[in-house]
Amino acid sequence: MLKWFLRNEWREMKRASMWEQSLAIKIIVGILFFFLFLEFVVGSIFFSDKLTKIFPDDDPVEKFNSFVLYGFALGFLARFFMQKVPVLSLQPYLHLPVKKSSLVHFVLGKSLSSFFNFIPFIVFIPFIIFQLAPWYSAIEITAYVLSILFTVLSVNFLSILFKRSLSTNSWISGVFALLIIVLGVMDYYGFVSTGSFSTLIFTSVLNKPLVVLLPLAVLIIAYFANYRSLISKIYPEENRKAKKGAALTDIKYLKQFGMIGQLMQLEIKLFLRNKRPKSTLIFIPIFLLYGFFFYPQEVYRGMSGMLIFVGIFMTGPILMMYGQYVLSWESSYFDGILTNIDDFNRYFRAKYNLMAGTTFVAFLVTIPYVYYGTHILLINLACAIFNVGISPYIVLFLSSNNKKRLDLSQGQAFNYQGVSGTQFILSIPIFLTPMLIYLPFWAFGNPMAGIIAIGVTGLAGIGFNKVLMNLVVQRFERRRYIIAEGFRKKF
């Protein structure tokens, strides 16, 4: 059975219309990964050989083991953004006498060939040769190698489970991501010590080889969690039943806003039900935690210009992630929008309301940063007002330059569909305008007046929202057929 699965996979890949193009890209990427592989090998050999000299006051084995969990955490993030979830065209097999379990085991087994599963051993093999082999027995080293192998595979299957649950049970992925963020923050401030826990686990394996059963248990749990998740949704009707009760996108409150509310609800459904937009939402918690990189540093607290940049960044994450592809998100049915919507003012008003509403929510999330100073709260408030009154109109005005089609079913990693110079141009006025408002006041020695001026500019934008919206709509109506022609060009 395995032979037939592999043969059919090869035939499907070779007969694909993009085979030659994909092959060329894979060869180029393979060459780049080969050089990256060599750099890893040289770096790991040097680090392992000089570990005693680099950390002369610490036990080299314990010090190395203290970094292991951090390395696997980075590996998990890299897998999430770059590793593709293994798939198999199951439909042709469902009517054949093929066990469902065989199909699922093959799908999970495909992930073992991932490049990410081999990288850790480039780091660990030199360490084992230089630091473990002279001092530990064969049984102890074998147990250590097995513990690393089991941990690598556990991370592999956990990342797959996380990405799959993101498309079906988003709240599970949200809780898991929040837990990782909280642990990271607690580790940063010294409330917990991930390094000490890492040392305890992997050094204990060397002293007591039976501890290897712990990472083995994690691997078994991760594998069978994936297995149960896949086998329960192997038939299309089972997927439909699972999605039937989802009411997250049914926001009754929006219905009272009429056409604008319906359009807002459609935008929310688009983001929560499609792979490409959903994968962009993963970056939002990173944006909101951006302050932890700056506010704890004394050198940045007196630099109001830098804090304005951070404030714009943190109070407008959805505005920027959503706004960079406004109109392109709807490229697959844009012709339907042109024929069915007769009032484009309401069409863009719905997008504006989403940007403004999410900016307000983002500001509320950043309020705890007042712990680092009340001036930070005032800066974030001024930036939030600017992101409500000015930034959405910049985004919507420049959105008429977007004419590249997006495939919403594709992920974000290594995906350049819809990417053009518009995305880069869009961020310049959003960040540059508040700085230009602030700098004259800063030059005359009154930075607080500059911060207030940013907020007042945002209020002025809110006051003149009808005028600004008319400018957006007029530009769109002049370019709508050019945009539609661009969206019709498939890949």
The answer for residues whose C-beta is within 8 angstroms of residue 344's C-beta and 6 or more apart is: 473, 476, 477
pLDDT by residue (tens digit) across 9-23?
A: 777 666 655 555 556
Rg (CA), the chain: 26
Q: Note the pLDDT of residue 237.
A: 52
pLDDT in tens, 84-121: 666 556 667 776 777 777 777 887 888 888 878 888 87
Task: For the chain, give every domain's residue range.
Answer: 2-244, 252-487
**Taking the model in full, what pTM does it have?**
0.61
Q: What is the pLDDT of residue 443?
A: 87
CA–CA dist 380, 451 (Å, integer): 9
For residue range 56-78, list pLDDT tens digits in order. 777 777 877 788 888 888 888 77
pLDDT, tens digit, 9 for 90 and up, residues 147-159: 999 999 998 888 8
Residue range 153-194, pLDDT digits in tens:
998 888 888 777 665 555 555 566 667 667 766 776 667 777
Tokens for 445, please give them: 């020695």
Query: Amino acid identity, residue 487?
Result: F
